[in-house]
Amino acid sequence: MRTYLSLLRDSLGRALLVALIVLVVSTSGYILLAHYSLFDALFMTVITLGTIGYGEVQPLNQAGRIWSMLVIVAGYGVLVNITARFTSLLSSGVFAENRDNSRRKKLIANCNNHLVVVGYGRVGRSTVESTISAQKTCVVIEANENLRREIEATGAIPIIGDARDLDILSQAAIDRAQCLVTTMSDADNLVVVASVRLTYPNIRIVARINETEWSDRLRRAGADELIPIYLSAGRHLANAAFHTGIIGVLDAGSDALTEQFLVRSHAPVCGRTIQDLMNENPSVIVLGVRRDSKLSRWHEIDSPLQVDDVLFAIGSGSAMEKFNEAFDS
């Protein structure tokens, strides 16, 4: 996109070119028709275009007076042309847009350990709202220009463009981001994940997945976590359709989260007991533990947590935020 400075320079350049042409033609006319010297002709042109009214340098013949009238008309034409150009430039919104871009660049320059969300559909929008609610910085890459103001209204920083373009990813300061969340189609997510992992090997990548056959490809491309948004919903619908005992899906409230946690080798939680976690986080309920592909109730696990154990827990957003810290490696 061209900056307002380049547009201003182009408009000013064209206006000056037109003014120069009028100046040269007018001066030449006085030399040919009124038989003025070069200096007198130039002086007469300037005072005539400027409508200063000093009077004639030398008495003008009829042809010279007619030429003066034409020069005055041409001068007004140049003035109208310049005014129209600048008015058009101002009304086009270019100045405001470039001012917004400058402001956005300053905000992004201060970003560090922020979240980059690719796509502002339903899933992306929910991700952004949760991130902003947690008072964390969020940069959104979205191709639809019409969503810019809506994204800004949430408090997030919009980057309008194609996330498959590394230049667009660079604009989001992805090299300083804590995590990338991509919420587009599986095919588009694959391109984004592969590009980001190749260029930024240390960033954490979480991808939404729509079809299970894409899981292996997204993992191989470099996704750290895959979130099957629609797959889990479809599973609930299918179960409800074929099992009459199911009367609904548990909704613990708008602020409640049900999440699973992986115990990694260097995480603070490794080697500690579930009872320790429950005592430190009384607002979080551990529902169960999966160890060696076997799912057990948490109180049946009497040994400390081991690497690759998976915990299932439910709690409020703020409580889960603190609970998450024990699993960060």
- The domain boundary residue, chosen from 38, 63, 92: 92
Tell whether 181 is covered by a domain. yes
CATH number at residue 57: 1.10.287.70
Over residues 191-220, mean pLDDT: 91
d(CA 186, CA 191): 9
Tens-digit pLDDT profile for residues 70-81: 888 887 777 787
Give how many domains the chain has, as a whole number: 3
Max avg pLDDT among 44-58, 137-151, 221-235: 137-151
Tell whether 201 is covered by a domain. yes
Max avg pLDDT among 54-63, 235-244, 245-254: 54-63
Tell me if 205 sits within 8 A of 182, measured CB to CB: yes
User: Strand 285-291 to strand 179-182: parallel, antiparallel, or no bridges (unpaired)?
Assistant: unpaired
As given in the structure block, the two tokens for residue 254 are: 């708008």
Tens-digit pLDDT profile for residues 244-287: 554 455 555 545 667 788 888 888 888 888 888 888 888 888 88
- The domain boundary residue, chosen from 188, 203, 233: 233
Tell whether 26 is covered by a domain. yes
User: Which band of pLDDT confidence, cut at 50, 70 and 90, is reported for residue 7?
Assistant: low
The length of the chain is: 329
User: Which band of pLDDT confidence, cut at 50, 70 and 90, is reported for residue 158?
Assistant: very high
Same domain, 133 and 209: yes
CATH number at residue 216: 3.40.50.720
Tell me if 115 sits within 8 A of 106, measured CB to CB: no
Closest CA to 125 of 152, 99, 151, 92: 151
Tens-digit pLDDT profile for residues 95-137: 555 666 777 788 888 889 899 999 998 888 988 988 888 888 9
The pLDDT score that the predictor gives to residue 1 is 46
Return the H-helix or E-strand segment holding 140. Answer: strand 138-142
Over residues 56-63, mean pLDDT: 76
Tell whether 160 is covered by a domain. yes
CATH number at residue 268: 3.30.70.1450
How many CB atoms lie under 10 A from the CB of residue 33?
18
Tell whether 105 is covered by a domain. no
Same domain, 127 and 223: yes
Tell me if 219 sits within 8 A of 200, measured CB to CB: no
CA quadruple 157, 160, 165, 168: dihedral positive or negative? negative
Alpha helices in the chain (DSSP H): 4-33, 38-49, 62-91, 94-109, 122-133, 148-154, 166-171, 186-199, 215-221, 229-242, 274-280, 317-325
User: Which band of pLDDT confidence, cut at 50, 70 and 90, is reported for residue 295?
Assistant: confident
Over residues 69-93, mean pLDDT: 73
CA quadruple 127, 133, 135, 137: dihedral positive or negative? positive
Tell whether 22 is covered by a domain. yes
Q: Within 13 Å of residue 166, how many CA atoms lie on the same side as its CB?
A: 8
Query: What are the b/e assignments for 181-198, b being 16+ CB within 10 Å?
Result: bbbbebebbbbbbbbbbe
User: Which band of pLDDT confidence, cut at 50, 70 and 90, is reported for residue 222?
Assistant: very high
Tell whether 75 is covered by a domain. yes
Same domain, 47 and 86: yes
Domain ranges, residue 274? 250-325
Same domain, 258 and 229: no
Tens-digit pLDDT profile for residues 18-30: 778 888 888 888 8
Tell whether 244 is covered by a domain. no
The pLDDT score that the predictor gives to residue 239 is 56
Tell me if 160 sits within 8 A of 145, measured CB to CB: yes
Over residues 82-90, mean pLDDT: 70
pLDDT, mean over the chain: 80
Closest CA to 19 of 81, 78, 84, 86: 78
Same domain, 190 and 277: no
For residue 58, pLDDT over 50 is answered with: yes
- The domain boundary residue, chosen from 204, 233, 262: 233
SS (H, E, C) 207-276: EECCCHHHHHHHHHHCCCEEECHHHHHHHHHHHHHHCCCCCCCCCCCCCEEEEEEECCCCCCCCCCCHHH
Percentage of the chain beyond pLDDT 90 is: 23
Over residues 169-186, mean pLDDT: 91
d(CA 254, CA 40): 83
3-state secondary structure of 200: coil
Same domain, 116 and 197: yes
Same domain, 34 and 131: no
The pLDDT score that the predictor gives to residue 234 is 61
Over residues 78-93, mean pLDDT: 69
Same domain, 127 and 70: no
The pLDDT score that the predictor gives to residue 144 is 92
The pLDDT score that the predictor gives to residue 190 is 94
pTM > 0.75? no
Same domain, 86 and 19: yes
